[in-house]
Amino acid sequence: MKTILDFIHPGETLVVTRIDRLARSMRDLQIIVAWLKEKGAHLAATEQPVDTSTATGKAFFDMLGVFAEFETNLRRERQAEGIAAAKRRGVYRGRPAKIDMTAVQARLAAGQSPTEIARDMGISRGTVYKAKASM
């Protein structure tokens, strides 16, 4: 996205399908539109009546942005509620660990270096140091 904003010229229009695909939050979206305005460019959406070069388009942009952020927040809340309910039922435990931390700790106790352990086990040195800290 930064590349597009760096190379857009005055009078050009950044065209997207939907404004909610452009940014993660209303704040980010407003920053992008402000950047475009500063450069003399505009934003238009093909599937929504958004065109920041007109007053009506700006109004639709603001309304759609607010509703898109609201929908995202609702989805996040529902997901968190579902995870909490699954944890209470004991069916949500997260992803199983791929790294055997006891094996890492055993190698550390045997005197192997973190770099050697990381290379042999195909893990990062940070993971080795995390295992070392929990010993």
| Amino acid identity at 9 | H
Amino acid 1: pLDDT = 67
Q: Identity (one letter) of the amino acid at 114?
A: P
35 and 59 assigned to the same domain: yes
pLDDT (average), residues 87-116: 90
Are both 24 and 85 inside the same structural domain? Answer: yes
- Counting the structural domains of the chain, the total is 2
- What are the φ/ψ torsions at residue 85 (nearest 5 degrees)? -65, -40
Amino acid symbol at 94: G
pTM of the model: 0.50
Q: How long, in residues, is the chain?
A: 135
Q: Do 122 and 75 share a domain, yes or no?
A: no
CATH code at position 61: 3.40.50.1390
> How many angstroms separate the most distant Cα atoms in the chain?
70
- The answer to whether residue 75 is domain-embedded is yes
The pLDDT score that the predictor gives to residue 48 is: 81
Range of the domain at 46: 2-89
Query: What's the whole-number mean pLDDT along residues 36-57?
Result: 88
- The two three-digit tokens of residue 91, written as one number: 């069916």
Long-range Cβ pairs for the range 62-65 (8 Å, 24+): 64/19, 64/20, 65/19, 65/20, 65/26, 65/29, 65/30
Q: What integer pLDDT is reported at residue 40 of this predicted model?
A: 93
**Is residue 94 in a domain?**
no
CA 61, distance to chain mean position in Å, is 22
Is the domain of 49 the same as that of 16?
Answer: yes
Containing 53, the helix (H) or strand (E) segment is none
